[in-house]
Amino acid sequence: MATEKIYTVTGMTCSHCVNSVDAELRQIPGVTEVKVDLTSGAVTVTSDAPLDETAVAAAVDEAGYELTR
């Protein structure tokens, strides 16, 4: 059963930022879809099973941004 969770990412200012976050999150095993809203910072992640928030935060950090908890 697919799981969808919305995270808030800070520091994104352009489409390159969106693409970086999208690419890093898609590398997490089980992620099937990522939708990034640049204006609000909302990132919707759909996955096969619930994700470890530490893995999500690490992927966002790797892209150069911060996951707001």
What are 5-15's pLDDT values in tens digits?
999 999 999 99
pTM above threshold 0.85: yes
Q: What is the mean pLDDT of the chain?
A: 97
Beta strands in the chain (DSSP E): 3-10, 31-36, 42-47, 66-68
CA distance 48 to 62: 22
For the residues 38-45, what does the mean pLDDT come to?
Answer: 97
61, 7, 55, 10: CA torsion to nearest 10: 10
* The pLDDT value given to residue 3: 96
pLDDT per position as a tens digit, 20-33? 999 999 999 999 99
How long is the chain?
A: 69
Q: Is 7 exposed, middle or buried, given 0-12, 13-18 or 19+ CB atoms closer than 10 A?
A: buried
Domain residue spans of the chain: 22-68
Structure confidence at residue 20 (pLDDT): 98
